[in-house]
Chains A and B, each alone.
Chain A
Amino acid sequence: MTAAPRLHLDSAVTRPVAEEEAAAQERGLVIKAQAGSDDAFAELVRLHQRRAYAVARAIAVTHEDAEDAVQEGFLHAYRALQRFRPEQAFGAWLHRIVANAALDIGRRRRVRDADALSENVALPHRDPAEASELRQRLVEGLRTLTARQRSVIVLHDVEGFTHGEIRAMLGIPEGTARSDLHHARVALRRELHDLRSTR
């Protein structure tokens, strides 16, 4: 037996063990939170808020809306915690709740202020000074996409969620998610085509 395959085997075995440990730790936190421990829920917030934000940001129009969606999502999760079965994946459950919160906020915003929406689409919340042409063209390209296409391409290509996970989060058929991704990629490529050809 050579060292290389053994190392490979070790890392392959170690990763699931670490994942299992993390899952067991998370299960323990969920059970404690269900028993009324706010500290345990705060720990769950600490563990999941960044990923929850990424989900919300992919759906929400602005950074502020994404933040609101994360807060609302955690609040809904806290209220619904007794209905959650600890053997399930807390993250996946939470992401669905946060995605729903982000979609709700989007709907409310559309009803409230349709004009302001188009001005804010996909603008970065940080780093406003950095405005390369590619970046600006991409922002323009994002504005041509539907909200769902934009969410799908960000969730898939940026955040690495699978089509199945996106289906569950956005409540759309997997085929629709695939088709949205395809159209979004084509649209963004088309937007950048001129720029690339002049380089």
Chain B
Amino acid sequence: MTFEPRIGDSPDEEVTRVLRSLYAAPGSDGYWLMLERRIMAGIARSEEEGWWRELARWGRTGALAASVAVAVAAATLWRAHERSQQLAFTQLFESSRSADVQLATQAGPESDRETTLRFVISP
């Protein structure tokens, strides 16, 4: 039995050489310096954008918190207003009831007077 190497199991030197030339990275140092600068500039830009995004996020959170605070304040004011109105109504109601009592009390002497008058003018 003889050993037959499978075609394609080892690299073809000529193919590899041409592939190497096709896929060769740029050789000039200037190119790599520029690429490095572009990479670092991209990172700086992204950081800046991230900072603005963060600020916007905090801004949104702040706006939400402010809206909640305004809503709570409005509700509190409304409740306070309602309470004061209720209190005013209660006071008014209470005072009208006491006025009735007063009127009822005041009605007493007038009836006495009427009684007296009726007694005087009666035959």
Contacts and interface: CB of A to CB of B under 8 A. Distances in A.
Interface in A2-35: none
B39 A70 contact: yes
Given A58-B23, A138-B22, A157 B11 contact: yes
Top-3 shortest CB links A-B: A186-B8, A185-B8, A157-B11
Contacts of A183: 8
Main secondary structure of the interface of B (DSSP, over half): helix
Interface string B20-34: 111111100000100
Contact of B36 (A49, A186, A189, A192): A49
Interface in B1-57: 6-12, 14-16, 18-26, 32, 35-36, 38-40, 42-44, 46
Given A71-B42, A158-B23, A135 B12 contact: no
Contact of B25 (A57, A79, A127): A57
Interface of B: 6-12, 14-16, 18-26, 32, 35-36, 38-40, 42-44, 46
B64 to A, nearest CB: 27
A50 interface: yes
A74 B14 contact: no
Interface string A134-174: 11001100100000000001101111000000000000000
B25 A54 contact: yes
A158 B19 contact: yes
A50 B15 CA distance: 22
A67 B35 contact: yes
B42 A75 contact: yes
Nearest to B32: A49
B19 A138 contact: yes
30 contacts: A41-B40, A46-B32, A49-B35, A54-B23, A54-B25, A57-B25, A71-B38, A71-B42, A74-B39, A124-B22, A124-B23, A126-B24, A134-B14, A135-B18, A135-B22, A138-B19, A138-B22, A139-B22, A154-B19, A156-B11, A157-B15, A158-B19, A182-B9, A185-B10, A185-B15, A186-B8, A188-B15, A189-B8, A192-B14, A192-B15
Interface of A: 38, 41-42, 45-46, 49-50, 53-54, 57-58, 67, 70-71, 74-75, 78-79, 122, 124-127, 134-135, 138-139, 142, 153-154, 156-159, 182-183, 185-186, 188-189, 192
B36 A46 contact: yes
B43 A189 contact: no
B43 A75 contact: yes
Contacts of A153: 19
Contacts of A158: 16, 19-20, 23
Given A67-B35, A70-B35, A135-B18, 15 more contacts: A54-B23, A57-B23, A70-B39, A71-B38, A74-B43, A75-B46, A124-B24, A126-B26, A135-B21, A138-B18, A139-B22, A159-B23, A182-B8, A185-B15, A186-B8
